[in-house]
Structure 1
Amino acid sequence: MSENNFKEWYNSSQTKPMSEKQQKIVDAAIEIFSEKGFSATSTSEIAKKAGVAEGTIFRHYSTKKNLLLSIVMPAMTNYIAPFLTKSFVAEVFQQEHSSYEGFIRTILQNRYDFVKEHLSVLKIFAQEVFYHDELQDQFKETFTEEVYPKFLDVIVHFQEKGDIIDVSPQIVLRMTMTTLIGFIISRFIVLPNNDWDDDLEMEKTIHILISGLKKR
């Protein structure tokens, strides 16, 4: 979902139609939060970009945090979380994989494509999830209920086949997630302007991870 598509979805998802000023506030907040982060963004900046008085923001949202949550929480609850679980599970966990490397390759490509398509709102989420309990709780619920048990089942399957080392599946999961998420965050959040060769970087990431997990 591109930034424009997210704005269209957000506007259409509201149970009560937003006024023209509210739409301008939300559009401006998405753009600036994504670029600068929540803490570095002032309501006066949002108001200036939206072409409204700063008091209009507080009249609709009371606080800057309420404005943030009004953008991210509906997206997580009604769009991104369901899409993450249903699509991710269907596209990754319901496929047959001949090796753990093939499984990892599918995950990395799937999440790379997902983040690239939904970058604006996911940047906001990634920047703020460590600072807001509401966002952490939503993410934990989504991951632990839908993804975590299926991921462990796959790991145990390939351990039983002798494809990867026989250590705690939770350790394998942590190694896998840390490596893959580290690449995604570096690529899209920390160093997005680097001269990336994405295909090569993904191959190197997979190679390093599998070299450490492969049973010898």
Structure 2
Amino acid sequence: MSKGRLLEEIMTQMHTTKQTEKQKQIVDAAIQIFAEKGYSNTSTAEIAKLAGVAEGTIFKHFGTKDKLLLSIIVPYIKEFFPVIAEEVMGQVMKNQLTTFEEFLRGLLQNRVAFITENREIFQVIIKEVIYKEEMKQELLPLLYENISSRLLRVIDAFKERGELINLPSEKILNMLLTFFGGFFVSRFVLLNKQTVSDEEIEDAIYFIVNDITKPK
């Protein structure tokens, strides 16, 4: 079965069924071991032992280890930006007094809090999926589609106010996404931090603002 078809099956299952208590136990155990040992170095037997279930129960509920991994990753990616995108970006569009700097601060603080609470899953995604070409082709478009249109609307709004430099909105979007990706991956994966300090967030804002906003 192709990765694309597998992804479709997981997403369909997510919309039509709820997890049983055993499924939740398996998923929680898988997240813990994947983050600690890596996806490739983890066996279903180890997951079953930690979850307190028979190994056959994993195959019964998830079919394969790939499918189990996707059952963790897909809902995480679907949640990663859309909720805060609607909330924060909606406020930006309505509040004409909000500056681009304030928008960045709210966005970064919210996402740092979210990743801090879901750090193990974030590490699984970065360590074991982003570097797998087949899964990358399936999952990155899902992430991009969730945030690109919302961010573009915000970028356009600030350009109309004259706050941002005169570059195509798509180029500014790509610059922001590249920076955000590097910021979160370096802190939570490469440096294995538990969270990110307010000082680091302010340094990041200073760097971005001085790159793409117009001098006052």
TM-score (norm 1): 0.73
Over 3 Å counting, the alpha-carbon distance change for 1:181 and 1:134 in structure 2 is: closer
Counterpart of 2:78 (choices 76, 81, 99) is 81
The corresponding residue for 1:147 is 147
Q: Where in structure 1 are there 5+ consecutive unaligned residues?
A: 1-12
Over 3 Å counting, the alpha-carbon distance change for 1:45 and 1:93 in structure 2 is: same
- Quote the Cα distance in structure 2 between the aligned partners of 1:60 and 1:141: 24
Q: Where in structure 2 are there 5+ consecutive unaligned residues?
A: 1-14
Contact 2:85 2:150 in 1 (8 A): no
Over 3 Å counting, the alpha-carbon distance change for 1:14 and 1:191 in structure 2 is: farther
Identity value in percent:
38
Over 3 Å counting, the alpha-carbon distance change for 1:212 and 1:90 in structure 2 is: same
The corresponding residue for 1:111 is 111
The corresponding residue for 2:9 is none
Contact 2:159 2:165 in 1 (8 A): yes
Note the alpha carbon deviations across 1:38-64, whole angstroms, 9 max, x for none: 122222322333345545534543321
Contact 2:164 2:212 in 1 (8 A): yes
Superposed displacement of residue 134, structure 1: 6.0
- Quote the Cα distance in structure 2 between the aligned partners of 1:153 and 1:51: 48
Over 3 Å counting, the alpha-carbon distance change for 1:54 and 1:153 in structure 2 is: closer
The corresponding residue for 2:210 is 211
Confirm or deny that 1:199 pairs with 2:201.
no
Q: What aligned pairs does 1:148-167 form with structure 2 within 5 A after superposition?
A: 148-167=148-167
Superposed displacement of residue 69, structure 1: 2.2
Partner amino acid, structure 1, of 2:186: S
Over 3 Å counting, the alpha-carbon distance change for 1:64 and 1:172 in structure 2 is: same
How many pairs does the alignment contain?
197
Over 3 Å counting, the alpha-carbon distance change for 1:208 and 1:57 in structure 2 is: same
- Quote the Cα distance in structure 2 between the aligned partners of 1:148 and 1:16: 29
Superposed displacement of residue 183, structure 1: 1.5
Superposed displacement of residue 91, structure 1: 2.6
- Quote the Cα distance in structure 2 between the aligned partners of 1:156 and 1:99: 13
Note the alpha carbon deviations across 1:80-106, whole angstroms, 9 max, x for none: 625741343113333325322222112
Note the alpha carbon deviations across 1:175-200, whole angstroms, 9 max, x for none: 11221232122222221248x76111
The corresponding residue for 1:15 is 17
Partner amino acid, structure 1, of 2:211: G
Which range moves more in the overlay, 130-139 or 86-95?
130-139
Q: What aligned pairs does 1:91-106 form with structure 2 within 5 A after superposition?
A: 91-95=88-92, 96=95, 98-106=98-106
Partner amino acid, structure 2, of 1:66: K
Over 3 Å counting, the alpha-carbon distance change for 1:47 and 1:207 in structure 2 is: same
Partner amino acid, structure 1, of 2:28: D
Superposed displacement of residue 137, structure 1: 3.8
Partner amino acid, structure 2, of 1:192: N
Instruction: Please tell me the root mean square deviation across aligned C-alpha atoms, in Å.
Output: 3.1
Partner amino acid, structure 1, of 2:87: A
TM-score (norm 2): 0.73
